[in-house]
Structure 1
């Protein structure tokens, strides 16, 4: 009986994810822990953390890209400065909101900062069509400064 219930839950997870989520929520609300699809539930909860990490990394990469093009793409600066500054502020605010909701992501972001900087640097080069060497290999500022809404290069 228990094996059949577990198989049905797994099948539901594979065949109708949305229904699986709704059924899982009902079981959680009813404290029906015996009939939960634990394996898939654990996988989904862990995936929430992965999604948050990917999201915050992506935002940081885009922030760095825009900070670099603002500072180094002189031929387009006058025409695009306002747009780039708006994007920078938007990325900063989104990152700060994520960190406010999940302060433990701060440590994660600090460890990923060097890699995110290099990815942002490559994007800035592609975006601007400027040589990658135009942009410094080392970060233009510490992470804390890059996240400061009152700072621009």
Structure 2
């Protein structure tokens, strides 16, 4: 069995496929691997959005549930919210069709965000109150508009 260019030199395969597309050499294209890579790229874009939403939601939750935490602790949560919200907004700007994926991404990311916030909350120190799991809502308490609003912090 002969190994394909795809298996031996991925970058060369990409360059070759691009050139074949530019030249209209459609019969020469490794269609099976091209479809696989495009499908994977779409999944990767969705996973990146979901991952940033998870961190954003976790820190919005912590700001809401642990509102009594000292400002020195909360400042890192604010910074994280700012950073991950900007990543989400940039992602949506670069790939506008992902806006349709946000409700599904939130449904998948929120339980993970809640779990993360609970775990991180257990590491509270310096006499800071450790919230009980029941203080973290089972369903997302934030709307999509709030999550994307650069002035919203829970």
Q: TM-score range by the shorter chain?
A: 0.7 to 0.9
Q: How many residues align?
A: 146
Partner residue of 2:125?
Answer: none
Q: Post-superposition shift, 1:149?
A: 0.5
Q: Superposition pairs for residues 91-130 of structure 1, below 5 Å?
A: 91-129=84-122, 130=131
Question: Contact 1:121–1:132 at 8 Å: present in 2 too?
Answer: no
Q: Superposition pairs for residues 67-78 of structure 1, below 5 Å?
A: 67-74=60-67, 76-78=69-71
Partner residue of 1:3?
Answer: none
Structure 2 segments unaligned to the other structure (5+ residues): 123-130
Q: Post-superposition shift, 1:21?
A: 1.2
Q: Superposition pairs for residues 48-59 of structure 1, below 5 Å?
A: 48-59=41-52
Partner residue of 2:152?
Answer: 151
Distance 1:102 1:26 in 2: 24
Q: TM-score, normalised by structure 1?
A: 0.85
**CA-atom RMSD in angstroms:** 1.9
Q: Post-superposition shift, 1:75?
A: 6.2
Higher relative contact order (CA 8 A, sep 6+): 2
Q: Superposition pairs for residues 23-38 of structure 1, below 5 Å?
A: 23-38=16-31
More helix by share: 1
Distance 2:83 2:21 in 1: 36
